[in-house]
């Protein structure tokens, strides 16, 4: 029987620690659905049908994600299953989608581990966490040839912090940096005083800090207050609007990764142009557009393209299509490893807060044939 509607389901963190990003992701997905419907719907098996978004609050809890994901598949019988925000919750959703044979469009979990568990049904929209800071040390070395030391401060629980920092540590080995400090902490009892004291004594050329969002905000506040001598401070949460919302003007100087920034994509061969997407996202949320919104919208576009290519909504066919396609949306290139589902076509930008504005500092900007590195030390 031909589909009369395409149901798109999402476990969304509307409460709990990821509530802000959960709301943003849902707003992004709804904006995509509204735009698809305004354009006549989705081409599903040769006929255009409307898109309907179904969601439940996962409360930022793994157990609730599992329950919601099972409900979306078995009771709501969604055609397309979008993942929640965060690595830990995406892993929980993947467990259920694999068990029930559903493709998971992973729009919110960047941890590498989800692709190492043999799931086979996960389609990665985001560049993996191990590549989050791949441009950081080349950027610092370009600005300061004498930079040599790196300090890592990370939460000791969860796979995401270790994936991000280990990628930076591997990069350090190849660029003749010394990882002079690796300090792990308990997210609910980090011991900031001793950590900041160690950083003040070490005076590293580069700091890599990654924990839960509230940990990154707390550490940022402590660093601003203590002002230890650090050449470049990369805090993973600095890439999202919540960071300057918490620190205000004191966010200036901090660097963070971003899966997408306006103007970062050179070519678009599928879906609406960036300006149209931005307008839709601004209408959907009413706040500055952050990359969690953009990546959820992009996930909708990717799934839509795969439905068109497969010519149906059958889960195995959609997963095969995802593994074969190579194209670009406003959010950048989509190409996955056909076996693991890991995103291999995208790279991550680095941004820095400068005078209250988020500035892309990596990759470098080309002006009049010359590469310009707009990073500011300190």
Tokens of 127: 């560049």
Strand-pairing partners, residue 349, are: 258
Tokens of 12: 């969304």
* C-alpha–C-alpha distance, residues 168 and 67, integer Å: 35
Instruction: Please report, to the nearest 10 degrees, the dihedral formed by the alpha carbons of residues 309, 293, 343, 258 taken in order.
Output: 150
Give the pLDDT confidence of 330-371 residue by residue, as tens digits. 999 999 999 999 999 998 999 999 998 999 998 877 666 666
Percent of the chain with pLDDT over 70: 96
The two domains 6-127+265-334 and 131-258+349-372 share their CATH topology (first three levels equal): yes
Query: What count of residues does the chain have?
Result: 378
Residue 44 — very low, low, confident or very high, per pLDDT cuts 50/70/90? Answer: confident
If you average pLDDT over every residue of the chain, what do you get?
Answer: 93
Contact 163, 111 (CB under 8 A): yes
* C-alpha–C-alpha distance, residues 343 and 326, integer Å: 11
Residue 143 — very low, low, confident or very high, per pLDDT cuts 50/70/90? Answer: confident
* C-alpha–C-alpha distance, residues 82 and 90, integer Å: 9
Q: What is the pLDDT of residue 74?
A: 98
Q: What is the pLDDT of residue 109?
A: 95
Give the pLDDT confidence of 230-256 residue by residue, as tens digits. 999 999 999 998 999 999 889 999 999
Give the pLDDT confidence of 10-30 residue by residue, as tens digits. 999 999 999 999 999 999 999
* C-alpha–C-alpha distance, residues 319 and 119, integer Å: 12
Residue 120 — very low, low, confident or very high, per pLDDT cuts 50/70/90? Answer: confident
Q: What is the pLDDT of residue 84?
A: 98
Q: What is the pLDDT of residue 263?
A: 82
* C-alpha–C-alpha distance, residues 210 and 228, integer Å: 18
Give the pLDDT confidence of 252-279 residue by residue, as tens digits. 999 999 999 888 777 899 999 999 999 9
Q: What is the pLDDT of residue 270?
A: 96
CB-based burial label for 334 (10 Å; 0-12, 13-18, 19+): buried
CATH code of domain 131-258+349-372: 3.40.50.2300
Percent of the chain with pLDDT over 90: 81
Arithmetic mean of pLDDT, 300-325: 97
Closest to 352 measured CA to CA, from 110, 140, 85: 140
Residue 53 — very low, low, confident or very high, per pLDDT cuts 50/70/90? Answer: very high
Domain boundaries of the chain, sorted by first residue: 6-127+265-334, 131-258+349-372
Longest dimension (CA), the chain: 69
Beta strand 365-367 with 327-329 is unpaired
Strand-pairing partners, residue 345, are: none
Q: What is the pLDDT of residue 68?
A: 98
CATH 1.20.1510.10 corresponds to the domain 6-127+265-334: no
Give the pLDDT confidence of 61-106 residue by residue, as tens digits. 999 999 999 999 999 999 999 999 999 999 999 999 999 999 999 9
Each as own residue / partner, the long-range contacts of residues 88-93 (CB below 8 Å, 24 or more positions apart, any chain) are: 88/62, 88/158, 88/159, 88/160, 89/11, 89/13, 89/18, 89/58, 89/60, 89/62, 89/65, 90/114, 91/62, 91/117, 91/159, 92/62, 92/63, 92/65, 92/66, 93/11, 93/65, 93/66, 93/69
Indicate the range of 180-189, 305-314, 351-360 predicted with least confidence: 351-360
* C-alpha–C-alpha distance, residues 352 and 359, integer Å: 5
* C-alpha–C-alpha distance, residues 181 and 184, integer Å: 10
Arithmetic mean of pLDDT, 311-323: 97
Place of tokens 């930008």: 349
* C-alpha–C-alpha distance, residues 41 and 270, integer Å: 15
């Amino acid at each position: 029987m031909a589909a009369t509607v395409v149901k798109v389901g999402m476990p969304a963190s509307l409460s709990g620690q990821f509530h802000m990003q959960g709301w943003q992701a849902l707003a992004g997905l709804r904006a995509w659905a509204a735009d698809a419907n305004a354009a006549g719907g989705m081409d599903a098996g040769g006929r255009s049908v409307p898109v309907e978004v179904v969601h439940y609050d996962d409360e930022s809890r793994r157990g609730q994600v599992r329950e919601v994901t099972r409900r979306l598949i078995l009771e709501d019988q969604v055609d397309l299953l979008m993942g929640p925000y965060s690595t830990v919750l995406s892993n929980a959703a993947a467990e259920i989608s694999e068990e029930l044979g559903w493709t998971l469009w992973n729009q919110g979990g960047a941890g590498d581990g989800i692709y190492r568990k043999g799931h086979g049904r996960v389609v990665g929209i985001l560049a993996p966490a191990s590549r989050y800071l791949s441009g950081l040390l080349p950027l610092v070395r370009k600005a300061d040839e004498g930079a040599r030391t790196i300090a890592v401060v990370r939460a000791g629980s969860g796979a995401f912090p270790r994936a991000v920092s280990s990628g930076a540590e591997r990069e350090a080995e190849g660029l003749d940096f010394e990882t002079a400090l690796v300090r792990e902490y308990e997210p609910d009892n980090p011991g900031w005083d001793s950590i900041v004291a160690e950083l003040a004594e070490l005076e590293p050329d580069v700091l890599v800090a990654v924990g839960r969002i509230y940990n990154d905000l707390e550490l940022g506040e402590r660093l601003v207050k203590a002002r230890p001598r650090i050449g470049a401070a990369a805090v993973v949460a600095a890439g999202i609007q919540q960071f300057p919302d918490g620190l205000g003007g004191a966010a200036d100087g901090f660097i963070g990764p971003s899966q997408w920034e306006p103007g970062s994509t050179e070519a678009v061969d599928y879906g609406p142009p960036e300006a149209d997407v931005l307008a839709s996202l601004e209408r959907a949320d009413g706040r500055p557009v952050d990359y969690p919104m953009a990546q959820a919208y992009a996930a909708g576009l990717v799934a839509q393209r795969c439905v068109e290519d497969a010519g149906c909504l059958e889960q195995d066919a959609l997963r095969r299509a995802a593994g074969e396609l190579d194209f670009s949306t406003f959010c950048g290139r989509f190409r996955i490893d056909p076996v693991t589902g890991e995103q291999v076509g995208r790279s991550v930008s680095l941004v820095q807060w400068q005078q209250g504005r988020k500035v892309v500092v990596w990759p470098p900007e080309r002006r009049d044939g010359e590469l310009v590195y707009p990073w500011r030390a300190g």
